[in-house]
Structure 1
Amino acid sequence: MADITLKGNAINTIGNLPKVGETAPDFSLTTVELGHKKLSDFAGKNIILNIFPSVDTGTCATSVREFNKKAANLENTVVLCISKDLPFAQARFCGAEGIDNVEMLSDFATGDFGKKYQLEIENGPLAHLHSRAVVIVDKNGKVAYTEQVSEIVDEPNYKAALKAI
C-alpha cells in the first residue's frame, strides 16, 4: 500500500501503482455522455492518466486545466482525467472551464479502476475515492511512468510526466 497524506495526516491506498514496464490494466469507465470507454479504445496512442479524488477541489481542477493546456500540443497523445465524480459534475466543470483537450472519465459505477490500479484510498476522510496519481501508458500499452503524489493537496509533477512521453 502507498503511504500518502492529506494535509499532513497519514492515509493509505489499497496497494501500489502498476510498475513501469508492466502492461497497463484495461478498464471500463463512464464518459460524460454516459457511454463507456476502455483503455483499449486508445490503443496506439500515448495515454496520460490524470487521476484525482474530485474535480470539485482546487488542486484537482488545476491538474485538469494544466493537462488541458499541455495536451493541446502533444501528438498521438490523449489525456484521460479520472475520478469518481459523477459524469454530470465532470461535464459541468469542463463546460464552465472551456476544457476540450482532455477526456473526463468516471469510476463512479463500479470503482474497478481504483482497485485495478491500486490507488483507492482505504482510510481517512477521502476513503473510497482515488488518490492523486499520474500514470503514462505508451502506445504499446506498457506503463512508462507513474507518480503517486505523496500529499493529496499537492499537484503532480507535470514536467516529469510529460517527459516520459
Structure 2
Amino acid sequence: MNSFKIYGWDKKAKTSLRNIKVGDVFCFALGEQKYGVGRIMTRNSLGHVAEIFNQVLNSPMVSSISFDRLGDPIILDPYSLFDRKAEGDWRVVAHQENYSPSAEEPVRFVYGVADNVKLVDIFDNETSCSGEGRDYPLYSPMGDEEVREHFKL
C-alpha cells in the first residue's frame, strides 16, 4: 500500500528542480479558483514525464489519487514550471510514497528526421522507428500554455 504525504498548496511556492521526485503530486492554477492535478511519473533527459488527471479541482487539495488519466503522459519543463515559476502557477502539493509507473507503459515520444526517427519511452529508452512517427507525441517538454492547449484546459 502506498502512503500519501500531503504538503498543501501554501507549503512551498517553488520546488527546486533537484527536489522534484517520482510520485510527486502537483496542482496547477487554471484560473477562477480551478486547478488541474497531475503526478510525476519519471525523470528523463528533457525534464519529467507526468500524467495529468481528468479532474478539475475547486481548491488545490489532494488527499489521494483516485482520478483517471486524461490522455497520454507528457513531458513537463519542471525548471520553468516548478523551480523558476516562469509560467503558470504549478506546485507540488503531495507525494505518493513508493509510486512506480508500470514498466509496460505503452507511451512513446518521437524525434528525428527522415530515415533517422527514434521512439523514446517514459524511461528514456530509445528504439528506431521503421514507420511514420506522426502518430506519436513529440519528444519535447511542455510549459503551462502547451499543457493547457494539449488537454484543452
Which TM-score bucket, shorter chain as reference?
under 0.3
Larger Rg: 2
TM-score normalised by L of structure 2: 0.27
Flag the structure with higher strand content. Answer: 2
Which of the pair has the greater relative contact order for Cα pairs under 8 Å at 6+ separation?
1
Flag the structure with higher helix content. Answer: 1
TM-score normalised by L of structure 1: 0.26
